[in-house]
Structure 1
Amino acid sequence: MIPAGFPDNARVWVYQCSRAFIEKEAREVNEQLHHFYAGWQTHGSPVKGWAGLLFRQFVVVIADETDEQVSGCSTDSSVRVIKSLERQYNVNFFDRMMITFLVKGKAEMLPFAQVQYAIEKGYITPDTMLFNNVVTNKKELYTKWMVPLKDSWLAGRVSFGNVPAQR
């Protein structure tokens, strides 16, 4: 879904929504994101950027800073779009205590405080894919956005005990 032509070091922001958007909402969100990046500017110059909704739950924003650095004001403008979506759809894009895993092909959110319980009950395993929303560039988006829980930043904060890995 991400258009070609962005270098590996293109800057990336991932905003995780508190719920998945229904199909109609997803179309509307993508349309609004398109309008945003089509007119995105930094210091009066157009930003080569893209924004889209992935898994109907994650807004991904990309900026190619090869020719022009994205300024603080330009970054603020992208955050304003996200805040506007929050108000419009009554969702939250800034709850860092919610962790999303890929379970049976679907993005499933868990409060941070319930992750250990989910491991103990076998709902998630060390091999369950975690959405690592702290990626910062396109290369990381492709290689480190979805990683097994055991290889993620969260692995050191939970105990796998005698939980067997998925086969």
Structure 2
Amino acid sequence: MNLEYKHLLPADFAPDSRVWIYQSSRMFSLGEAIQIEDLLNHFVENWKSHGTPVKGFGTMFFGQFIILMADERATGVSGCSTDSSVRLIKEIEQLYKVSMFDRQNLAFVREDKIELLPLGQLQYAVDNGFLQADSIYMNNLVQTKAELDQNWLIPVKESWLAKRIKLENSQKA
């Protein structure tokens, strides 16, 4: 699995541009992904904050993660403009029968594909060798372009998860 994505981020957006990551409960088919990209492009082209166009970016990574970004140095994003992006994601949920807001489902790269794991099963997964300290975790809590660039795909041992689990029995990936 090719985990390269950084070159796809817009170079002309400030490092402190706001980022929202929505993880789907399943991978989208190619046809669905193309339709969703169209929805994202249409949304970003028309995204406004108090009537002023938002310098926005929207895309899908790895067939399962929707990334929205707003460069607030150009236009600040208000509550109403954030609400409009949430409405878009809810529309995608309904159209494609997926969950996009389940923060209890964590994503990891395992055996060259993305695997979802409920937070409550994290220690069990480590104890039984499903996850190791060096396993790649999709840290969907990143909030800026710089964080997306540097801290989205990180080893479990470098994430907030390391404080919630015992990794000493974990083997290297």
Shift of 1:115: 1.4
Whole-Å separation in 1 of the counterparts to 2:145 and 2:160: 19
Whole-Å separation in 2 of the counterparts to 1:31 and 1:161: 45
Which of the numbers 112, 115, 139 marks the counterpart of 2:119? 112
Which of the numbers 87, 94, 97 marks the counterpart of 2:94? 87
Identity, in percent, stands at: 45
Whole-Å separation in 2 of the counterparts to 1:133 and 1:62: 13
Task: Normalising by structure 1, report the TM-score.
Answer: 0.96
Counterpart residue number, 2:30: 23
| Aligned partner letter, 1:161 | E
Which of the numbers 33, 36, 47 marks the counterpart of 2:54? 47
SS of the counterpart of 2:34?
helix
Counterpart residue number, 1:146: 153
User: Number of residues paired by the alignment?
Assistant: 166
| Aligned partner letter, 1:120 | D
Whole-Å separation in 2 of the counterparts to 1:73 and 1:48: 15
Q: Structure 2: which 5+ residue stretches go unaligned?
A: 1-7
| Aligned partner letter, 1:49 | G
Q: Deviations over 1:84-140 (max 9, x none)?
A: 000000101111110000112211100111111111111110000101111010000
Matched, 1:62 2:37: no
SS of the counterpart of 2:160?
coil
Task: Normalising by structure 2, report the TM-score.
Answer: 0.93
| Aligned partner letter, 1:145 | W
Q: Is the 8 A contact 2:59 2:68 kept in 1?
A: yes
Q: Is the 8 A contact 2:20 2:68 kept in 1?
A: yes
Shift of 1:164: 2.1
Counterpart residue number, 2:141: 134
- Deviation beyond 4 Å, 4+ runs, structure 1: none
Alignment root-mean-square deviation, CA: 0.9
Counterpart residue number, 1:155: 162
| Aligned partner letter, 2:131 | I
Shift of 1:57: 0.6
Q: Deviations over 1:13-44 (max 9, x none)?
A: 11111111011111111110110001100111
